[in-house]
Homo-oligomer: A and B are copies of this chain.
Amino acid sequence: MVAALKVGVAGLGTVGAALIAQVARQREALAARCGRGIEIVAVCARSRAKDREIDLNSMKWFADPVALARDGDIDVFVELIGGAGDPAKAAVEAALASGKSVVTANKALLAKHGVKLAALAEKHRVALNFEAAVGGAIPIVKTLREGLAGNSFERIYGILNGTCNYILTRMEQDKMPFAECLKEAQRFGYAEADPTFDIEGHDTAQKLAILASLAFGTKVDQSAIYVEGISSITPADLAAADELGYRVKLLGVAVKTPKGIEQRVHPTMVRKDSAIAQVMGVTNAVTIDAEGINPLTLVGPGAGGTATASAVLSDIGDVARGVRTAPFGLPTARLTAVRKAPMQRHEGGYYIRLLARDKPGTAATIAKRLAQQEISLESIVQRHPKDGAGAARKNGSVPVILITYATSEDAVRKALAAVGRDSVISGRPQVIRIEKN
């Protein structure tokens, strides 16, 4: 048997601790499955004193992750520090440059510096694996990189942020407003004290940039993604979606269009009977449309110490078995630059919720403005709230829900601007894109 693979782990939070525990528990099985043992020989974290309920005695301790990354005693450097900057970046670069394979769960680092790091890995002929960076335990990186290596992709989309999906689920099931659900998510530890990164879609965008690169051979580039969060969604939207056979999910979508790869993150209406619409709570899911595969959906835990550690361990196992795949599927020289999708040119169906002034001619005016932009309607729902039932009615307005057939975002924006100028609606119209699935 080959000598054991020696692993250095930087970052001993929940994932790092779970990884060390799992390697200890599965020592025998791992050796059998990978053809050689896997040993964590060195670790690095900010505090040595902290009680992590794991035995670190047999491991060399480093205070500096870069020093660990360069240590001659390790074969693989596992980066669980997080963040797009140093010390994570410096440590990963140091490891790759000194000929060590790297396993990382760091989506921010990859979304920002992925191409450069991949090129470095290529140059030194080492692996750069990051299954844990997207979708936790869902083996989506492996599926795209290896499992569908011979396929031509049409589209990939997913629920990539558990916080947002938890909030949307609670809002839908319990008719609670956004702010209240967010507070609850924070209480349960599903949302950060500063939730902006999650709820405004940036976390999803980082993950989408990685998936898009794997599927379409684009250069990972978070700045090429149109991003819109979920804070404007109301229980009324979710109820209307339900009635029309849809659910609202925050999706990251990358899709091949005649104008190039369109990457976008926004609240999306998905058909209620689709696999992805069933995904509730903090669970993640990714759906792939490829040649002959319409669709393939992977659903699983997107976070959590053990789930994430399991993905990290799978990556380490690949290194142990001598597998080295181009980090983003293709040699970096073949990855293509991608421009930010101009959303005005996005084409699809739209859900539009308006508060229409309850007076003669309103419906005709709205209909005319849509017709002027050649927008056809699949359905219109207008219900006069029961007497005394709603503030809307008191203000002399009634909610109108429109579902359009495929049209362009530009047309929708222009039509709604005109309707606004006509003074037949109150407030801002709510617009949610419909994803065909």
Q: Which residues of B contact A376 (CB under 8 A)?
A: none
Q: Which residues of B contact A317 (CB under 8 A)?
A: 146, 149-150
Contact of A310 among B293, B329, B330 (CB under 8 A): B293
Chain B residue with Cβ nearest A307: B292
A83 at the interface (CB under 8 A from B): no
Known contacts A278-B273, A301-B293, A323-B323: A310-B138 contact under CB 8 Å: no
Separation of A296 and B138 alpha carbons in the complex (Å): 7
Instruction: Name A123-154 residues within 8 Å CB distance of B.
Output: 131, 137-139, 142-143, 146-152
Instruction: Name A13-49 residues within 8 Å CB distance of B.
Output: 18, 22-23, 25-26, 29-30, 32-35
A275 at the interface (CB under 8 A from B): yes
Separation of A32 and B326 alpha carbons in the complex (Å): 9
Question: Do the beta carbons of B314 and A292 come within 8 Å of each other?
Answer: no
Q: Which residues of B contact A386 (CB under 8 A)?
A: none
Q: How many copies does the complex hold?
A: 2
A415 at the interface (CB under 8 A from B): no
Separation of A51 and B292 alpha carbons in the complex (Å): 21
Instruction: Name A251-301 residues within 8 Å CB distance of B.
Output: 273, 275, 278-280, 290-301
Question: Do the beta carbons of B310 and A291 come within 8 Å of each other?
Answer: yes
Question: Do the beta carbons of A293 and B321 come within 8 Å of each other?
Answer: no
Known contacts A275-B299, A314-B148, A325-B321: A137-B293 contact under CB 8 Å: yes
User: Number of contacting residues on A, CB 8 A?
Assistant: 61
Question: Do the beta carbons of B334 and A310 come within 8 Å of each other?
Answer: no
Separation of A280 and B275 alpha carbons in the complex (Å): 10
Instruction: Name A348-392 residues within 8 Å CB distance of B.
Output: none
A297-329 CB mask vs B (1 if < 8 Å, else 0) is 111110011110110011011100111011001
A331 at the interface (CB under 8 A from B): yes
A147-170 CB mask vs B (1 if < 8 Å, else 0) is 111111000000000000000000
Known contacts A33-B329, A321-B325: A148-B310 contact under CB 8 Å: yes
Q: Which residues of B contact A334 (CB under 8 A)?
A: 32
Separation of A334 and B1 alpha carbons in the complex (Å): 15
Question: Do the beta carbons of A296 and B149 come within 8 Å of each other?
Answer: no
Question: Do the beta carbons of A307 and B323 come within 8 Å of each other?
Answer: no
Separation of A81 and B277 alpha carbons in the complex (Å): 39
Contact of A305 among B292, B306, B323 (CB under 8 A): B292
A183-220 CB mask vs B (1 if < 8 Å, else 0) is 00000000000000000000000000000000000000
Q: Which residues of B contact A304 (CB under 8 A)?
A: 292
Question: Do the beta carbons of A30 and B150 come within 8 Å of each other?
Answer: yes
Chain B residue with Cβ nearest A300: B296
Q: Which residues of B contact A142 (CB under 8 A)?
A: 139, 142-143, 146-147
Contact of A152 among B29, B35, B314, B318 (CB under 8 A): B29
Question: Do the beta carbons of B314 and A146 come within 8 Å of each other?
Answer: yes
Known contacts A33-B149, A146-B314, A317-B149: A292-B275 contact under CB 8 Å: no
Question: Do the beta carbons of B307 and A149 come within 8 Å of each other?
Answer: no
Q: Which residues of B contact A26 (CB under 8 A)?
A: 150-152
Contact of A306 among B293, B309, B330 (CB under 8 A): B293
Question: Do the beta carbons of A295 and B305 come within 8 Å of each other?
Answer: no
Q: How far is the CB of A76 from chain B (nearest CB, A)?
A: 14
Q: Which residues of B contact A25 (CB under 8 A)?
A: 152
Question: Do the beta carbons of B278 and A306 come within 8 Å of each other?
Answer: no
Q: How far is the CB of A320 from chain B (nearest CB, A)?
A: 9
Q: How far is the CB of A35 from chain B (nearest CB, A)?
A: 8
Separation of A179 and B314 alpha carbons in the complex (Å): 46
Given contacts A292-B301, A292-B305, A298-B298, 9 further A-B contacts (CB under 8 A): A23-B150, A26-B152, A137-B296, A139-B142, A143-B143, A150-B313, A150-B316, A291-B306, A292-B309
List 14 contacting pairs A-B, 8 Å CB cutoff, sorted by A.
A33-B150, A137-B296, A139-B143, A146-B317, A146-B318, A148-B310, A150-B317, A151-B310, A291-B310, A292-B305, A292-B306, A293-B300, A297-B300, A298-B299
> Which 4 pairs show the lowest CB-CB distances between chains A and B?
A292-B306, A150-B313, A139-B147, A296-B300
